[in-house]
Amino acid sequence: MDTLQRDVFGHMPDGQVIERVTLAADGIRVAIITFGAAIQSLQVPDRAGRMEEVVLGHDSLQPYLAKRSFFGATVGRYANRIAGSRFALDGQTHRLDGNEGGATLHGGYHGFDQRVWQIGECNAGPHPSVTFHLQDSAGSGGFPGTLQVALTYTLGPGPQIKLSYCATTDAPTVLNLTHHGFFALGGDVRDQMLAVRATRYLPTDTSQIPLAPEPVAGTPFDLTQAARIGGRLEQDHPQLRAQGGFDHYYPLDDGAEPAARLWDPASGRVMEVLTDQPGIQVYTANTMNGFIARNGAPLHPWDAICLEAQDYPDAPNRPDFPSPRLDPGETYSRSIKFRFAVIP
């Protein structure tokens, strides 16, 4: 196929067209839709060269609209949770959408995953790319400042996808963007091997709000060496019991890439995460009951895993965490790469 194709994926209830851009290069193929600037399809070869889907998604628009899933979506204005659905900035308290009990999750009711993005520059060629744009008005979800956001997906060089985020604001605000892909590399996720370059993690309270960092040493959260995911999920630990699995933030240690590495022994597929974000939220899809797969089959907890590179959760309320503040005249710039390989 061509390295870049563009087609109509569906229509919103008001008739607005949802487009899809498909990029293909270096043996992988990715399709992104304008609804949520989401990866709708990602096909990667296994050790036998078979191309298969490695992310959860849907083949039509209606399931995305019927139940909010975050499948492959761009998450903002603030990824993860903000406690109390409020934060103070320059002496003013901003009250947000409280869409998860007493907290704001992934930007509130109408986060970036629920928005229709606009397609900007498209580049075909050996390393095809497409840029998506979104304007988020001041007051949206309760957040201050009007944002101009751009997200560029680029394939290559080599079998990798790079996500480049850029944003500016006209008033002081907070910002935390990430990619919420649900990865299923081929075999049972519980049999896959995961390593994360982090010697600390953030335990959470009963509302899943982060507490102070704690060492991973001596806990099921120690992924400094590759570990079988199912072996960790089966351990009896209060944090795992409370969340039904992993749903925790790992502040990354300084050092060589990758930040995380996921290996599926059944298919031979390997995925590495490389990023300039300060940490990764590891989520083992603990609340999948009620969701459906691409083929219409029901999904279950632990059927996929999310590795969401992002800033610290609840940082707007935590002066002990790195600041997520963005001021006029500054440019928010982050990147995430998903690099693929095969082990024979």
Residues noted as catalytic: 180, 308
> CB of 161 within 8 A of CB of 151?
no
H or E stretch covering 230 = helix 229-233
Report the distance separating Cα 321 and Cα 205, nearest Å.
17
Report the distance separating Cα 187 and Cα 93, nearest Å.
47
Rg (CA), the chain: 19
Cα–Cα distances in Å, from 255 out to 99, 274, 323?
Answer: 36, 12, 21
Q: Is the peptide bond between 228 and the residue preceding it cis, with omega within 30 degrees of 0?
A: no
Residue 11 in 3-state DSSP? strand
Biggest alpha carbon–alpha carbon distance for the chain: 59
